[in-house]
Amino acid sequence: MSRKPFHSSLDFVAPAKRNLPKFAFDFIEGGSGDEKAVRHNVESFENLKLIPHLRSKLGDTSLNSRILGLDYAAPFGVAPLGLCGLINPKADSILAKVAAKYNVPYVISAASNQSIETIVKAAGVPPWFQLYIPNVKAQLSNLLKKAEANACPVLVVTVDTPVPGRRLRDLKNGLKLPYKLNYANVVEAMKHPLWTVDRLLAGKIIFPNFDDAVSDNPNLTFRDLVAMQTGGDLNWLVIEKIREIWKAKLVLKGVLSPADAVHAQKLGVDAVIISNHGGRQLNAAPAPINMAPIFLDAGLKKDFLMLDSGIRSGEDIISSLARGASFSFMGRAFLYALAANGEKGVENLFDIIIDELSVNLKLLGLDCPADVSAKNSFGG
């Protein structure tokens, strides 16, 4: 664990790299293809400018935000992170617990390595639930029932994963399930004894949200489980069906087409997350931050739009608000923090983001996140 102080999300990357075997660090950092989408996501934020204004009134700055009828302490949440048990066996519950402490949403992935029930117990509040479209229809119904039984207030359906992207780092490292260590990865694991001991003591990596499938077929392999999670029919008829079944808030994640967002709204979807999966799916996909104004031009309202991919700081969150989103999600940064310094690292990152948000809102002369808009805060 690192003993050096952390002052930005970037400070967690180097110690995370030291603490993890190469194949685990590459799983966090990597994207699809030559990873130009990952780079473009981050670079697109670097080119943005925010214009400060003199405040029109006296008063304290507040980060309180409201999204989908829910109140949170800041305008961001923790994005769904599948297979993060590879980084830390208790990653899902740690992230959910800390997110609840700071009163921001945590989105549990259907591909999490801890169950919804475990997450609710750890956090004290139900998470949002992220869903891939499984290729077994009964699994779709089972997952929806599981999310409903645990009072998940929001269902986030990921629509950019009809198949997994070609993530070259994972292919080169031999990272697949069921996982078998090759010689290079055994050497890497031996270089990181703390990670190795934690992982061995925790036992096999499992997907407990699919435990009903395991009970029906105890000989089911991890590869079969992964195949269940994706590869189902991903089309508008399925979204319509989910909208009919799911009575709480429904969000589509991975939308990059304004026309798709308009159609989703007509079907009764409550919001979309403009996202390219952090650059881990279609490598040629545009950076979501550059697409947000086009969604506004299509007549979509800000409260219908959220955004992820490439966000690394509180300033990036404000930039996403300035470009037209009402809320943001971060993913990789939390895994870096977790790998660098465990639960304390995650708390430290939250403190950093909150401070960055507060300082930058004050510098912009704004009272709250709702005051950030393309009209009064964004400059080319």
Domains of the chain, each with CATH number or no CATH: 9-379 (3.20.20.70)
Residue carrying the six token digits 């808030």: 249
Contact present, 229 and 207 (Cβ < 8 Å): yes
Helix (H) or strand (E) holding 271: strand 271-274
Token readout for 201 is: 């003591």
Taking alpha carbons only, the member of 329, 326, 336, 310 closest to residue 47 is 310
CA torsion sign, 194 to 196 to 199 to 203?
Answer: negative
Contact present, 107 and 79 (Cβ < 8 Å): yes
Q: Please give the Cα distance from 291 to 324 (Å, whole number).
A: 9
* 187, HSE (Cβ side, Cα atoms, 13 Å): 4
Q: Please give the Cα distance from 371 to 180 (Å, whole number).
A: 51
Chain-centroid distance, C-alpha 92: 12
Cβ neighbours, 10 Å, residue 149: 11
Identity of residue 146 = K
The b-or-e profile of 156-170 (16+ CB within 10 A means b, else e) is bbbbbbeebbebbbb
pLDDT at 380: 43
Find out whether the peptide bond into 178 is cis, omega within 30 degrees of 0: yes
pLDDT at 369: 94
Residues paired with 50 in a beta bridge: 378
Q: Is 277 known to be catalytic?
A: yes
**Given the residues 40, 53, 192, 277, the one annotated as active site:** 277
Splitting the chain (380 residues) into consecutive groups of 10 residues, what average pLDDT does each group show? 80 97 94 96 95 81 96 98 93 98 97 93 97 82 94 97 88 71 75 86 83 60 56 86 97 98 98 97 97 97 97 97 97 97 97 97 93 62
